[in-house]
Amino acid sequence: MTSLLKVEDLTVTFNTQNVLRNISFEISPGERLAIIGESGCGKTVLLKNLIGLIQPTRGRVLFEGTELGKLDEAELARIRINYGFVFQMAALFDSMTIEENLLFPMLQHTKQSRQTMMTTVLKLLDEVGLSSNVLSKRPAELSGGMRKRVGIARALVLQPKIVLYDEPTTGLDPIMTDVINRLMAKMAKNYAITSVIVTHDMTTVRNVADRVIMLYPTSRLKRNEPQILFNGPASEIEKSADRRIHDFVFGDGSSRLNERALD
């Protein structure tokens, strides 16, 4: 199957700090990929490279065979219509109502009638479990979980081929975390979209992802050691014999505590 996204030898350096080093992988259409790793390993930087918000120091990212780094801003804007993005804290426009937030992408990128746009909005609201009563409200009037649901709905209004999620369950209680996980899996299935989920939450990995890529901070790697510690089925990561993977997956900080004690 032809890949939807391809990352080839991606390296990103800020000043003298090497954040991503020689990253290569492909994402197939319809796949649900989780990108995990401790803070500072470059997960969000990688996510921004996938949509062309950051340009690599070396290497390239290709969407359906088109190299993002060779596109001008107008061409990138056209490519990005194929993407949906769910930000960590939903990132809704505070000054707009929920209706205006949901209509915004369609007003910017389509010439649909308002009636057609509202049909899409109401359908997506229903699918994420919200009533039309929220349309007149502003983001500050909604709970964190409701804002996340609106963020998912907004990411889907243009019927993208791929949705990028940046820490979608951060700050949520266990029940709402499960709701968001179920929604991500449901939307991926219902709309046949590809999902890339940056997360620290192993519950999300277990319940949503088909495949997992685990990154490790470059500052903690040996000179020629690969930054990707794991790239495989989500069902296999808990069986890894690599202590670094085990510690992250099971939340075991004992080795790091001992390490800090020696500093």
Is the CB of residue 40 less than 8 Å from the CB of residue 98? no
Which residues touch 176 (CB under 8 Å, ≥6 apart)? 144, 145, 148, 169
Residues of the chain with pLDDT under 70: 1, 89-90, 258-263
Return the pLDDT at 263: 41
Return the pLDDT at 224: 85
Is the CB of residue 161 less than 8 Å from the CB of residue 193? yes
Using CB atoms within 10 Å of the CB of residue 165, give its burial: 0 to 12 exposed, 13 to 18 middle, 19+ buried: buried
Tokens of 213: 């890529």
Using CB atoms within 10 Å of the CB of residue 82, give its burial: 0 to 12 exposed, 13 to 18 middle, 19+ buried: middle
Return the pLDDT at 246: 93
Q: How far apart are CA 56 and CA 45, in angstroms?
A: 10
Shortest CA distance to 198 belongs to which of 184, 219, 183?
A: 184
Q: How far apart are CA 159 and CA 169, in angstroms?
A: 22
Long-range contacts of 105-114 (CB under 8 A, 24+ apart): 105/154, 105/157, 105/158, 106/157, 106/158, 109/81, 109/158, 110/158
Residue 123 amino acid letter: K
Domain range list for the chain = 1-76+209-263
Return the pLDDT at 37: 94
> pTM higher than 0.85, yes or no?
yes
For the domain bounded by 1-76+209-263, which CATH number is listed?
3.40.50
Return the pLDDT at 73: 92
Instruction: Determine the 3-state secondary structure of 227 from DSSP.
Output: coil
Which strands make up the sheet holding 58-63, listed edge to edge?
A: 17-27, 5-14, 58-63, 66-67
Return the pLDDT at 46: 95
Return the pLDDT at 119: 95
Is the CB of residue 32 less than 8 Å from the CB of residue 182? no
Shortest CA distance to 207 belongs to which of 169, 241, 243, 252?
A: 169
